[in-house]
Chains A and B, each alone.
Chain A
């Protein structure tokens, strides 16, 4: 199955569409974000509270796409990981402790994205299995230490059918496309990211490389 059958950005479109109808969630307060708009974001390897040790890096390798396509410069995650390890920080926990002024001075990032992986993996139920990824993220300005944005994302993919033939066919096609090549939880990360970063009025504002930069709705 060609993984490009379901391009990653399509997730954003689908979720945006899905959420357009529910106006019950209060929009995020972007005041700080707008006062200190970052151009570049350093995403550190996530803290891992899940039961799967592989979750952290599996998630890290999905996070550049949604943030960069949102319009930000995202530092090379694997190069940064290596760089920090060589400089005496072997774990994500230690990397998350680096003082912000050092991040600005040594890496030149405008903001740091601190991510915590809360759940990553599959639970087997009676007739199907559910793969869940849940993440929390915080975006902090390196010059002031101010919290610019925070959010949570969760996605679940189920295996096993509902009994509805048309629905199952479409869902199966999506699942197959998304699952091709890698483990289910890895691909579920991409869906969780869509909710986390792309949700209207909750996700990241469009960044300077996006043609939509500055078009986000203004605060009331």
Chain B
């Protein structure tokens, strides 16, 4: 029973794989990968590298006129905050808030924190 059914499944999956063209809502870049790596191997992706990777993702997406995923600019802003680049941090938190007004309470809190430091 198990072998034929596995074959049927595999064949059933083929057309779906062939039709992998449905659009996603967002561009994800390295967002989740960087989060994973930073927890899996602490210290392996310092804020400099995070900011660099995420900036590259953003430039690419912007050139293609695509929208970044929720949290992306907040994460990038946090990386700049850790680097002491407060102007860039502020800009990213403001972008997150402009893209997703749902983030306003948290982003305003982050922006207030920037002013104190």
Seen from chain A, the residues whose Cβ lies within 8 Å of a Cβ on chain B are: 6-7, 9-10, 13-14, 17, 39-40, 54, 57-58, 60-62, 64-65, 68-69, 71-80, 82, 105-108, 110, 162-164, 166-167, 169-171, 174, 182, 186, 209-210
- Dominant secondary structure at the B interface: helix
Q: Do residues A209 and B25 form an inter-chain contact, with CB atoms below 8 A?
A: yes
- Whether a CB of chain A sits under 8 angstroms from the CB of B95 is no
| Residue of A whose beta carbon sits closest to that of B109 | A106
Extra inter-chain contacts (19) besides given A65-B32, A186-B36, CB under 8 Å: A58-B39, A61-B32, A61-B36, A62-B32, A64-B31, A64-B70, A65-B28, A69-B24, A74-B70, A75-B106, A76-B74, A79-B74, A80-B106, A105-B105, A108-B106, A162-B2, A166-B7, A170-B10, A209-B25
Interface extent on B, as a size class?
35 or more
- Whether a CB of chain A sits under 8 angstroms from the CB of B116 is no
Bound complex: CA of A17 vs CA of B13, how far in Å?
9
Q: Which of B6, B16, B72 contacts A13 (CB 8 A)?
A: B16
- Whether a CB of chain A sits under 8 angstroms from the CB of B63 is no
- Whether a CB of chain A sits under 8 angstroms from the CB of B38 is yes
- Whether a CB of chain A sits under 8 angstroms from the CB of B3 is yes
Q: Mark B101-116, 1 if CB is under 8 A from A, else 0.
A: 0111110011000000
Bound complex: CA of A60 vs CA of B110, how far in Å?
22
Bound complex: CA of A174 vs CA of B104, how far in Å?
40
Across the A-B interface, give the 4 residue pairs with the lowest CB-CB distance, nearest first. Answer: A108-B105, A76-B71, A57-B39, A40-B102
Bound complex: CA of A6 vs CA of B106, how far in Å?
34
Seen from chain B, the residues whose Cβ lies within 8 Å of a Cβ on chain A are: 2-3, 6-7, 9-14, 16-17, 20, 22, 24-26, 28, 31-33, 35-36, 38-40, 69-72, 74-75, 78, 96, 100, 102-106, 109-110
Q: Do residues B10 and A167 form an inter-chain contact, with CB atoms below 8 A?
A: yes
Bound complex: CA of A71 vs CA of B110, how far in Å?
24
Which of B14, B16, B39, B102 has the most C-beta atoms of chain A within 10 angstroms of its own C-beta?
B102
Given A167-B7, A170-B10, A170-B14, the answer on whether A73 and B103 have CB atoms closer than 8 Å is: yes
Chain B residues, Cβ within 8 Å of A17: 12, 16
Chain A residues, Cβ within 8 Å of B31: 64
Bound complex: CA of A158 vs CA of B70, how far in Å?
33
